[in-house]
Amino acid sequence: MSETNLYPGLNLGGGHGEAHEQAESTVFGFWVFLMSDLIIFGILFASYASYLDPIGMAGGPGPQDLFDMKSVAIQTAFLLVGGTAYAGVSLAVKYETGRAKVIGWLLVCATLGTGFLFFEVKDFIDQAGKGGLPQASGWLSSYWALVGLHGIHVLSGIIWIGAMAAQILRRGLDDVVKVRLSMLGVFWHFLDLIWVGIFSFVFLVPLL
């Protein structure tokens, strides 16, 4: 087995020796963790679906009253561009184009993530103003829990990006930091994946 194709792409390639092999089990472990996380989201999606009926809404406001498609589209755009921007980080690490570039791309990702969060929180506030608080009905509880959990993930992603930038500044791009950047990449793209599910099944389908 040639070691070079252990982690094609996201990852480091043959020139990175030890980091590359360490990446193998660490990043695999992180994938396993994310799969566990995926189950959490999956169950929340299923619950959301089970509360999405007149009984679950309990006479409170429903999707038609609360959801703003334009804002959802803006959030989607932020997250999609932000996710793709991580390619810059991955490639800059892989082809060793310098610390500044890695940090620059990390900041781009964090900024776009923050933009997403801004519109998401704005939506939440608007909805609360229209009576769409999680205390209003079972359906709203499940909506806030699911979308809120994704938002918390994005927030942790941003904090993690900050921590990684600090580590790069302090430690430089050593093997451990490279592996962590790979994990952060998987995490950041994974958030995109979940968001695809959210905008499709939480926002669009109930609006039909």
Q: Least distance to other proteins from the beta carbon of 165, Å? A: 11
Count the neighbouring beta carbons within 10 Å of the beta carbon of residue 166. 11
Question: In angstroms, how far is CA 116 from the centroid of its own chain?
Answer: 10
For residue 47, what are the contacts with CB-CB under 8 A and spacing of at least 6? 142, 146
Are 64 and 207 in contact by the 8 Å Cβ rule? The answer is yes
Residue 6 tokens read as 């252990």
Q: Least distance to other proteins from the beta carbon of 71, Å? A: 12
Q: Least distance to other proteins from the beta carbon of 64, Å? A: 12
Distance CA 203, CA 107 (A): 29
- Which lies closer to other proteins via its Cβ, residue 13 or residue 115? 13
Q: Least distance to other proteins from the beta carbon of 23, Å? A: 9
Q: Least distance to other proteins from the beta carbon of 90, Å? A: 8
- Which lies closer to other proteins via its Cβ, residue 138 or residue 151? 138
Helix H segments across 95-174?
99-129, 138-171
Q: Least distance to other proteins from the beta carbon of 122, Å? A: 19
Distance CA 195, CA 70 (A): 16
- Which lies closer to other proteins via its Cβ, residue 84 or residue 121? 84
Residue 179 tokens read as 């592996």
The DSSP call for residue 15 is G
Burial of residue 143 (CB within 10 Å: 0-12, 13-18, 19+) is buried
Are 71 and 119 in contact by the 8 Å Cβ rule? The answer is yes
